[in-house]
Structure 1
Amino acid sequence: MGKNILVFSVVVVFLFSITYAVPGIATYYTSYTPSACYGGTQEGVMIAAASDKLWDNGRVCGKMFTVKCTGARNPVPHPCTGKSVTVKIVDHCPGACPSTLDLSREAFAQIANPVAGIINIDYTP
């Protein structure tokens, strides 16, 4: 009986710990300050701006997202590096932003060839 409870508990913990990735689009930018979340304060280089879809009146400020390239959105063949990157949301990519996440150039370069400019991604908050 005790062994069954232990196995059941492990399965429940495992199921609740699974995080599902959300598909999106990433671009990159090179001007890091001032930001909508932190003004002129530097927050490092592994940072991103959130699109209107994620912005939620700034509630996403400071949240960490893990991002992985899943493929090209333009003719650049095989832009993905196979790596993932964790970024902190520090800014808002408003209005006509072409992406879900606008990554810093350094963060983008971790997951894709910057020549691509725009890529498909999976991200997890």
Structure 2
Amino acid sequence: MKMGRFAICFILLSLFCISLVLGDIGTATSYNSPYTPTKCGGNRSDQFPSGNLFVAVSEGLWDNGAACGRRYRLRCLSGNNRPCKEGTIDVRVVDYCTKRPCPSTIALSTDAFAQISNAHNAKINIEYVQI
């Protein structure tokens, strides 16, 4: 009977731990304006969400352009000199990272980067999930 309870507790604890880690791990940098033209919306100003919380994504997330308009929730995990702010932000994909190779998994607008990191022009580790 004790072994059965132990197994049930172990399974429940495992499911709880798995539910806490739903996102992928990657890196993020910031990129500066000019933000247009983009690969998703060209020069249209309505492609940018309020608060300027938008990103350009690297090849791994670009999905031959299907990434345009996707939304991600992300948070800073770590980096040099403890750059992370608490909390998460929701961002929209508006562009493909134009630098080759892209310096990070996701390049955030300067406003988006400032929402999750105290560091400027840094590379941080992030957790992200599509929403």
- Secondary structure of the residue aligned to 2:120 is helix
Out of 14, 25, 28, the position equivalent to 2:27 is 25
- Secondary structure of the residue aligned to 2:113 is helix
Q: Indicate if the aligned counterparts of 1:105 and 1:114 stay in contact, CA closer than 8 A.
A: no
Moved more, 90-99 or 47-56: 90-99
The yes-or-no answer on 1:96 pairing with 2:96 is no
Runs (5+) with no aligned partner, structure 1: 1-14
CA distance in 2 between partners of 1:79 and 1:36 (Å) = 30
CA distance in 2 between partners of 1:25 and 1:89 (Å) = 15
Out of 122, 125, 128, the position equivalent to 1:117 is 122
CA distance in 1 between partners of 2:89 and 2:114 (Å) = 10
AA partner of residue 114 (structure 2): A
The yes-or-no answer on 1:37 pairing with 2:40 is yes
Runs (5+) with no aligned partner, structure 2: 1-15
Q: Indicate if the aligned counterparts of 2:30 and 2:121 stay in contact, CA closer than 8 A.
A: no
| TM-score after normalising by structure 1 | 0.79
AA partner of residue 110 (structure 2): R
CA distance in 2 between partners of 1:62 and 1:116 (Å) = 25
Deviation at 1:114, TM superposition (A): 3.4
Specify whether residues 117 and 101 from structure 1 end up closer, same or farther in structure 2 by C-alpha distance, changes over 3 A only.
same
CA distance in 1 between partners of 2:22 and 2:61 (Å) = 16
CA distance in 1 between partners of 2:121 and 2:86 (Å) = 15
Deviation at 1:116, TM superposition (A): 5.3
Q: CA RMSD in A?
A: 2.0
CA distance in 2 between partners of 1:67 and 1:38 (Å) = 22
Out of 55, 69, 83, the position equivalent to 1:62 is 69
AA partner of residue 85 (structure 1): I
